[in-house]
Structure 1
Amino acid sequence: MDPTAVPEWSADALTTASWQPDVLGPGFEARLLPLADDDEGPVVATLVRCLPPGAVGAARVVLYVHGWSDYFFQTGLAEYFRDQGAAFYALDLRKYGRSLRPHQTPGYVEDLRTYDEEIGAALARVRAEHGPHARVLLMGHSTGGLVLSLWAERNPGQACGLVLNSPWLELQGSSVMRHVSGPAISRIARFQPKAPLPNIDPGYYSRTIDVSTGGEWTVDARWRPTPSFPVRAGWLRAVMVGHATVARGLTLDVPVLVALSARTLISARWHEDMRAADIVLDTEVIARRAVQVGHVTTIVRIPRGMHDLTLSERPARERFYAEVTRWLVGYGWA
């Protein structure tokens, strides 16, 4: 699929009753998942799927969750799993991407457990389409990796494995930064939970991705804006609670693959080397935290990988897919 092609499409065309053509074009479908209303009104999530031929009752299924200020558009990832005969599903969480509505605060929740509702609804749909014995692999990027790690801890036995693509398991600067900033964030969140914090996003990561600025991908700026959605105190507090939970140690009893860039480059000034490094997270901190996710954790470092390894330059993303394949074969999933 041409990654620069964005067909005309409207979220209003989606229903809860059936699959409809998705914005990503041929081979991709989407449907709404109705959720309980919150203080801002009606809430939905959106499930996107990409199926191999004759995939009804597929034995292997992938469920993917995106990161902060993001949505699912990584067609190459879906096609990688489809070509292996697996059914691929991706969630646009509430208040993100296809699920974002004008009356909502983008990306906002006050507890990461809130996402249990749409993850549960997505898996119910997967089970309805592929049966109760389909082997489900969870995959999350960045904040999505944190969300799925915590969900899997609370819901043992629901997945056969977890693939984390640059998961946000700790603040930059390690737990010291979390302990120093946590009390102040909690005070703001208590009295003004939706107060926006200073936005420090200079737009460099978007510059590495977008085809108009030297990247390879076209994204919908409504769903993945530059700078990113405002970070709000209540949301950041929820993320920091998640980080603290990981720091105490998770006990996942399924194999976990944590894939990270081999290099971090965080700078106030633009540099072309940013196209070949993680410029969002400190990968050394994440690598140290990753061993606390589960009993059997594999850590892979990808030379010249970006924050989303699936969007890296071709040699790096091919290395990433090769490592995923090796891991899947080793655990008998592929």
Structure 2
Amino acid sequence: MNVPIGQHWRLVKQGEDLLGDRFYARTFAFPGPKTQVHTTLIHHLDEQQSAKAILYVHGYTDYFFQTGLAEHFIALGYRFYALDLQGYGRSIRPSTPPNWCDSIEQYGQDLDIALATMKQDGVEQVVILGHSTGGLVVSTYLAQPYKLAERENHYQMPFPEVIGLMLNSPFLALPFPPVILNRIHWPIRIIVSLLPFYFIKAKKATIYAKTLHQRFGGEWDYRLDWKPAEGFNFSFHWLREIIQAQRNLAQKSLSIPTLLCHSRISTIGKDSVEETQQGDGVLDVESMKQAAEKSFQNLTQVIIDKGFHDLYLSHETARSEYLHALDEWLGQLTQAKSKSH
């Protein structure tokens, strides 16, 4: 199959997703910085008449597998879509290393494809939900100086309106407390800039991974080839691009209604699974909050007690609290939009 979807990308595969018969996946090929790359748009097959949708974007060393999250939004009357970005999950190909990117901005192509396809499906309004690095990706995308109307002109295709942004523990700052981060930010930036092709080899399962996967006693079952417990090899080039994207975002002022959800505390560096499960074992919540407050002008913050880094993967009590926060904010967003029309 080689179905053209406009001149910029091609639909190369479609059909029932690996998550089961309620999910459908479409894979698109398009030119990347060095070679052809792929992105995969997954959607739930219910609520197909709804004009509003959620678009979920995963984090680093990650892919979409959270079927319960999709079903939660379906029950609220939203369509649900999720992206496996180029180089992640369903979109990994032999020609490109997993998680590799030349710049965070390149994922804008994945988001363009997703939004244009959702519009073709009949979606008129979208709320984007980004987790961790996905939160940085979508924030960078929405902070670009050109608007969706200019993308429509570029692609000769209509886009839906993006009416809100929900951030689940977004990677808006490096994982250090603000005082330390202020001291070490420049040295880290210099090191990764001088050694862009250096990799730290992945060796053993992280404590955070052990809090999640059933293999280690966690609650969740997902593909360890796409979300390996030890992570993929860690690229200094990738970290350099993350730092640059964070710096660029810090200089922007986004007016889009935004919800920031994060754990109460950080548990980075804890020695046990039990200690790590008391909070965010990956990022520093104080630096995350400061970065969000700098960039987002219409920001609502919700603290999730004992929430994991991926709040949806937390234990039941924290997960329910997180979903309730999303529901409340979406209800307020809907009311505000109806009053403005």
Question: Which runs of 5 or more residues in structure 2 are unaligned?
Answer: 1-9, 149-160
Residue 17 of structure 1, CA deviation: 5.7
Q: Which SS does the other structure have where 2:21 is aligned?
A: coil
- Measured in 1, the distance between the counterparts of 2:103 and 2:32 equals 15
- Measured in 2, the distance between the counterparts of 1:156 and 1:170 equals 25
Q: Evaluate the alpha carbon distance shift between residue 201 and residue 305 of structure 1 in structure 2; reply closer, same or farther with a 3 A threshold.
A: farther
* Alignment map for 1:1-334 (pairs within 5 Å): 16=11, 19-39=14-34, 41-53=35-47, 55-56=48-49, 58-131=50-123, 134-154=124-144, 155-156=146-147, 158-173=161-176, 174=178, 175-176=181-182, 177-189=184-196, 192=197, 195-197=198-200, 199=202, 202-248=205-251, 250-267=252-269, 269-332=271-334
Using the size of structure 1 for normalisation, the TM-score is 0.88
Question: Which runs of 5 or more residues in structure 1 are unaligned?
Answer: 1-14
The letter for the 1-side match of 2:171 is W
- Measured in 2, the distance between the counterparts of 1:314 and 1:275 equals 12
Question: 1:40-80 CA deviation, whole Å, 9 max, x = no partner?
Answer: x4311111001324x14x22111111100100111111111
The letter for the 1-side match of 2:86 is R
Q: CA RMSD in A?
A: 1.9
Instruction: Judge conservation of contact 2:264–2:279 (CA < 8 Å) in 1.
Output: yes
- Measured in 2, the distance between the counterparts of 1:201 and 1:266 equals 16
Residue 18 of structure 1, CA deviation: 6.3
The letter for the 2-side match of 1:42 is Q
Instruction: Judge conservation of contact 1:35–1:118 (CA < 8 Å) in 2.
Output: no
- Measured in 2, the distance between the counterparts of 1:150 and 1:121 equals 16
Instruction: Give aligned pairs, total.
Output: 310
Q: Which SS does the other structure have where 1:27 is aligned?
A: strand
- Measured in 2, the distance between the counterparts of 1:64 and 1:221 equals 20
Residue 247 of structure 1, CA deviation: 2.5
Q: Which has the higher contact order (CA 8 A, sep 6+)?
A: 1
Question: 1:103-153 CA deviation, whole Å, 9 max, x = no partner?
Answer: 32110012111111111011110010115xx11111100000001001011
Residue 89 of structure 1, CA deviation: 0.7
- Measured in 1, the distance between the counterparts of 2:303 and 2:240 equals 29
- Measured in 2, the distance between the counterparts of 1:82 and 1:32 equals 22
- Measured in 2, the distance between the counterparts of 1:209 and 1:71 equals 14
Residue 268 of structure 1, CA deviation: 5.2
Instruction: Judge conservation of contact 1:209–1:215 (CA < 8 Å) in 2.
Output: yes
- Measured in 1, the distance between the counterparts of 2:12 and 2:30 equals 14
The letter for the 1-side match of 2:57 is V
In percent, how many aligned pairs have the same letter? 33
Q: Which SS does the other structure have where 1:331 is aligned?
A: helix
- Measured in 1, the distance between the counterparts of 2:273 and 2:223 equals 24
Residue 199 of structure 1, CA deviation: 4.9
Residue 276 of structure 1, CA deviation: 2.9
